[in-house]
Chains A and B, each alone.
Chain A
Amino acid sequence: MTATYTPAAPIWCSGCGHYGVLGALRGAIADLGIPAHELVTLAGIGCSGTIQNYLGTYGYHALHGRVLPTATGVALANPDLTVIAAGGDGDGYAIGAGHLVHAFRRNASVAYVVMSNETYGLTKGQLSPTRPTEHGRLDAVAMGLAIASTTFVARGYGGWSEQLRRLVRQALEHVRARQGFAFVEVISPCVTYWDTYSHWDQALYDLDADDAYDPSDRAAAFALTQELAAAGRLPAGLVYRAPALVPAELPCPARAAIEPGPLLPAYEAILDEYAAAG
């Protein structure tokens, strides 16, 4: 057996919400019995951008804001892999916001877990796009609902481990069934620079406790986000999941034949197109 790297110990502060996310990821992977080599965990820059070091899967540390394009490239090149993108809300909603919109639109099978803590922790407490200010806060869940091709939107909470583990598991099942982009925002408080546990314990609206809630009704889901936002609250749980589709046949470029020998006739035929006439 060839020895590989030993997963590192988290660098996070004691009490950080990210531990809840790490636990949920480990639990969901175990629940589904996914072999480590089939998993690729890509993470952005920031405190959350170290989570790939702790799991024992294939791990990649992206440039700031670029975790979604890289994860998309991995998923498109080899659809047999289970691709997890992770990062903070600064990484995903500020410097990387342009990619998030297109990840929803493109709907490649990537599970994206955003650890939203309303602050830039690693650079010591600057405001991030989810912090409520006089300009309001950026709600990526509502944004995802507004994009036509969106297939999976959820919000979890670092303080509600059981629900969070289930949401991450559902997200992984969604991508493994090749249903597309699975978006999970996790309210993951920063105990050092912006401790919001006591606030969110009260302000989150638990969808699991609402028997009438239908996560297949996109319009109702959006209406609820607006209604709750007006009261300074957010929904937590499976917000929206599109009806299951028969997945399209996807190419697997990573397994495509590349040895030139057998392909020579096909290449020569292309060259002939440029050789016509004389």
Chain B
Amino acid sequence: MTPKPLSDLNVMVCGQGGDGSVTLVSLLGDLLRARGFHLFEARDVGSRVKGGSAAACLRASLERRAGLGDRFDLLVAFDGEAVARGGPLLAEHGIVVYDGSDGHPDRTRLPARATVLEVPFGRLAVRDLRRDLFKNGTAFGVVARLVGASDEEAEAALRRQLRRLQPRVVDANVEALRQGFDYAAALGVANGNAPWTLAAGPPRTRVLITGNQAVAFGFLAAGGRFFAGYPITPATEILEWLSKRLPAFGGLAVQAEDELSAINMALGAAMTGTRAMTASSGPGIALMQESISHLGSAEIGLVVVDCQRAGPSTGMPTKPEQSDLDMLAHGASGDFPRIVLVPSDPRDAFELTVLATNLAERYQGPVYVALDQAVAQDSVTVDRFDLEAVTVERGKLLDEAGLHELDEYARYRVTDDGLSPWVPLGLPGGQHLVTGNEHDEWGLVSAAPANRVQQVEKRARKLETVRPDLPRATQLGDPAGRIGLIGFGMETGAMGEAAEHLAATGMTVKQLRPRTLWPVLEDVHEFVASCERTYVVEHNATAQYAHLLASEGIPLDRLVSILRYDGVPFRPQELAARILHCEAEVAAA
């Protein structure tokens, strides 16, 4: 057969949790990354430690793609359940590598023209290598042959990925890999006789990283030195990352007894002038709401990360959603300013967390960084972060000399820009009172009507002061486009590719990826005003983002909501089809 050139490969590896699907994806990803491919790696797992059907997915493409494509080209199935799950998503001419240890796959689940290669990985690994886990090495051998990689580059990738293991374990895996080569040859896929030939791009200095890692790194680079959190999916990696890294920089990460404690520890640290952060997911952020409002009233700067998962309540812990938007923009008691930033990929997450850390201290209030599970946990190759561009901006934080220039120091001094100079706890001569109760300029509790109005308005002015510095949206596509697409976070990858499909049908489209969710900035107003119709793509059931926009004066009748809340990200063609369907309805009307 004529080998098919490969520049965009979608792979699903599926088995029971603990089978090592993620390992196989990492191995293949490493091999393809060395060829200059962009990577997108996602997991689709249940909320349990081991067992249960679990899939790891990989997209490797020479062109940058921030999400899975429409169909899988390759399915590695460790059991029958994996065939049932991945089969319907397989491309027409896709290839299935099936672990035939316990029999044959159910062909009715697969496209008629799919190729099936049966390899008893599990049985081989146990028989020859005495351990079921080595089946990943064997499977990688077969897969490497399929994509047309040389045996040498496959072995190099394996050795790179296993470099932290003991030599004898690595040797056993290399043996498993070679067994995989032999099996591939026996099935007719000899070296140089692959169904695909692998393209190669220029070597890149990209990083492969998740949104959670990027948020934690951004916080560290921005001078964040205190973190408190409580374990929760899908935010826990931030706690783990900072627990490991902060001590080397004189900082500290604390695992609190609950989310109430986590946010209050963090705000306590913030008052000492230590840049502080907490992170959680919807249920934990809900517990923190009283403290969010306290940050607003007591004017304490803190970064709060929400890695959104499907709600309500405990919801679907491992599935992505964007259904905390109402809580982030409007949750908690009383009126107070807050900022919500929404990154779309790890590089964006890094940059926005640096910005959030600066903003929190500058405007002295809560700054949310809102991810969804996909942005939080998927691994993506992005350009190296620009560390030299990181700055530390501390706003009106006074040191001893600055304090002594003042005749009097009142923590909540009413100023034109709403921002009061402040000192960290412990500065000689700077003693002051901090409270969430309504207070006078000195921090003494006061319910006097005129003072109350003055303090509410002072706090509100702070948001206007920093508004020019809030990150603006990224606009893509034909500026003259009639049809607009708005989405952030996990939507941006599928939205970008859907726009290409739509453009191919002759539609003129443009896209907007907001980076500030709240307050709604003029960039969104202008974008909607410039479109005949704007599709708002979001993962929730009630069009929360569209309603936030409407609440800020954007006409709802110019917006069309494309919603999804089944815990599954959009694929590009599906999204394009939903939009085309709506367009057809408009045309018919």
Contacts and interface: CB of A to CB of B under 8 A. Distances in A.
Interface of A: 1-6, 8, 35-38, 40, 42, 50, 52-53, 56-63, 65-66, 68-74, 76-78, 80-81, 98-99, 101-102, 251-260, 263-264, 266-268, 270-271, 274-278
B268 A73 contact: yes
Given A60-B271, A254-B272, A277-B33, A266 B248 contact: yes
B160 interface: yes
A66 B260 contact: yes
Contacts of A98: 257-258, 261
A3 B407 contact: yes
Contact of A69 (B208, B261, B443): B261
B223 interface: yes
Given A37-B426, A267-B221, A277 B392 contact: no
B260 A69 contact: yes
Given A61-B433, A73-B266, A274-B207, 18 more contacts: A2-B408, A2-B430, A3-B409, A60-B434, A61-B445, A62-B264, A69-B256, A69-B261, A69-B268, A70-B268, A73-B226, A78-B425, A251-B247, A253-B274, A256-B250, A260-B387, A260-B392, A278-B36
Interface string B237-269: 000000001111111101011101110111111
Given A77-B274, A256-B251, A271-B385, A277 B157 contact: yes
B444 interface: yes
Interface residues of B, number: 88
Interface of B: 30, 33-36, 157, 160, 203-209, 213, 217, 220-223, 225-226, 228, 245-252, 254, 256-258, 260-262, 264-276, 290-291, 294, 298, 384-385, 387-388, 390-392, 403-404, 406-411, 424-437, 442-445
A174 to B, nearest CB: 19
26 contacts: A2-B407, A3-B408, A4-B432, A6-B442, A53-B444, A57-B431, A58-B431, A66-B291, A69-B256, A69-B264, A70-B267, A73-B269, A73-B270, A76-B265, A77-B226, A77-B268, A77-B274, A80-B426, A253-B274, A257-B249, A259-B223, A264-B388, A275-B207, A277-B33, A277-B160, A278-B30
A253 B391 CA distance: 19
B257 A260 contact: no
B252 A77 contact: yes
A263 B249 contact: yes
Indicate the member of B33, B203, B269, B428 with the most A CB atoms within 10 Å: B269
Indicate the member of B203, B225, B431 with the most A CB atoms within 10 Å: B431
A260 B432 CA distance: 30
Contacts of B270: 73
Contacts of B430: 2, 4, 37, 58
Contacts of A37: 426-431
Given A258-B275, A260-B223, A266-B248, A77 B269 contact: yes
Indicate the member of A63, A251, A274 with the most B CB atoms within 10 Å: A274
A101 B426 CA distance: 27
A254 B432 contact: no
A57 B443 CA distance: 13
Contact of B252 (A58, A76, A264, A277): A76
A258 B226 CA distance: 12
B547 to A, nearest CB: 30
A78 B426 CA distance: 9
Contacts of B254: 72, 76
Contacts of B223: 258-260
Indicate the member of B36, B208, B272, B404 with the most A CB atoms within 10 Å: B272
